[in-house]
Amino acid sequence: MSKLRQKDSQGRSRRSTLQAWGYYLLALTAWVTIVLVVSVLGFIICRSLIWYETNPLYHLLNWVRDYYFFVFAFVILVGWVVISYYFIARPNQQLQALIEASGQLSQPTEEPIRLPPAMKSVEDQLNLAREEALHAQRTAREAEQRKNDLVVYLAHDLKTPLTSVIGYLTLLRDEPQISPELRARYTGIALEKAERLEDLINEFFDITRFNLSHLELEKQTVDLSRMLQQVVSEFEPMLAEEQLTCALDLPARMDYPCDPDKLARVFDNLLRNACHYSTPGTEIQISGAETGASIVLTFHNEGRTIPPEKLERIFEQFFRLDSSRASRTGGAGLGLAIAKEIVELHGGTISARSWDNQVEFQVTLPKAEREGDFHG
C-alpha cells in the first residue's frame, strides 16, 4: 500500500512539474504574441496618421522604427525576466513553506500542518503522513511498554517455580526415608514447576525471536487437511487434561503451497488458544473449505465472550486476553500476533469474532498462491 501511495505521489509530482513548465512556456508565448500584435497594430495606426516634425512623439516613433529589433528584443527580455521571476519566486516560497512544514512531521502535536492554498493537496498528504507516523510511534511505544512489563513479569515469575523445584528436590535429598507416596507427590510437584519454568523460558525466546528476526518462508506444497490432523493429534494430551474434544470437518485433501513449519505454528497457536479459553466439557470445531478464490479454515470453540474492545486488539503484539499473572493461559501475548504475520506473509488474512460465549477464528488463504510465485 505504501509503495502504491509513493508511486501515486511521484506521478502527481511529475504532472505538477510538467504543468508548471507548460504554464511558463504559455506565459512566454503569450507575452511574445502580445508584443508582436501591439507592434503590428502600432505600425498600422502610425502609418495611417499625419505626423508633424514638431511633434516630439514623431521623433520617438522614428527612433523606435530605426531600432525596432533592439527595442523588440529589450521588451521581450524584460517580459521574460518578469515572468521567470514570478515562476521562480513562487516555487521558492512554496519550497520554504514545505521545509517549515516538514519540520512538523515528527512533532507530536494535534495542530495540523498549514500550507498556501495552492499547495492544498501537498498539505493533505503531509497531514496524512504525520498522522500515520504518529500512530505508528504510539503503537510502537505501547508495544514496547507491554513487552517491558511482560519481561518484568516473566523475570519475577521465573523465581517462583525455580524456588519450588529447588525446595522439593532439597526435601527429597535431605529426607531419604520419606514415604513412596510423598516422594511421588513431591516429584510430581517439582516436575509441574519445572514445566512451568520451561514455558516461561520459551516465552522469553518468543519475545527475542519476534523482535530480532524477520520471518522468512520456505515454500512447498503440503496437504493442509493432513497437517491439521497431525496438529490435533499432538494436542490430545492437552485436550484430555482440559476435558475437551476436537472435531475436524475437512476435505479429503487440501494441497497448498506454503511454509509448512510456519503454517503449522499458526494452527498450533490457534488450537492452543482454543484449549486455554474453552469451557471444560465442550468441543473445539475445526473446519475447512475451498471456495472459488481461497481456502477458508475456521477454529470455533465455546468460552467466555471476548469484549469488542479486546477483540479489536487481539492480534497486537504482547496483548493478552487474560492479564492475570497467576494464570497459565497468560503467555507472552505473541501467539496470535505471530499467527497474523505468518498468514499475511502467505497473502492471506486472519480474523476473530465472538458472540454468546462463542469464539471463532477464521484463516483465509488465497488459492492464487498455488499458481503464482511466492515471495518470502
Task: Please give the pLDDT value at position 372.
Answer: 42
CA dist 271 → 25, 263, 264, 267, 285 (Å): 68, 12, 10, 6, 10
Q: Going by CATH, does the domain composed of 220-370 fall within 2.30.30.40? A: no
In whole angstroms, what is the distance from residue 176 CA to residue 118 CA? 89
| Residue pair 144/169 in contact by the 8 Å Cβ criterion | no
Candidates 1.10.287.130, 3.90.199.10, 1.10.3720.10, 2.40.50.140; CATH matching 139-212: 1.10.287.130
Task: Please give the pLDDT value at position 230.
Answer: 92
Mean pLDDT by runs of 10 across the 376 residues of the chain is 52 68 83 84 73 68 74 85 76 65 64 67 74 79 73 68 85 85 87 80 67 69 93 89 92 90 88 89 93 91 88 74 50 73 89 92 79 42
Query: CATH topology of 139-212 equal to that of 220-370?
Result: no
In whole angstroms, what is the distance from residue 22 CA to residue 321 CA? 60
**Who contacts 365 (Cβ-Cβ below 8 Å, separation ≥6)?**
256, 258, 294, 295, 297, 343, 346, 347, 348
Task: Please give the pLDDT value at position 373.
Answer: 43
Task: Please give the pLDDT value at position 107.
Answer: 64
Report domain extents, the chain. Answer: 2-102, 139-212, 220-370
**pTM exceeds 0.85:** no
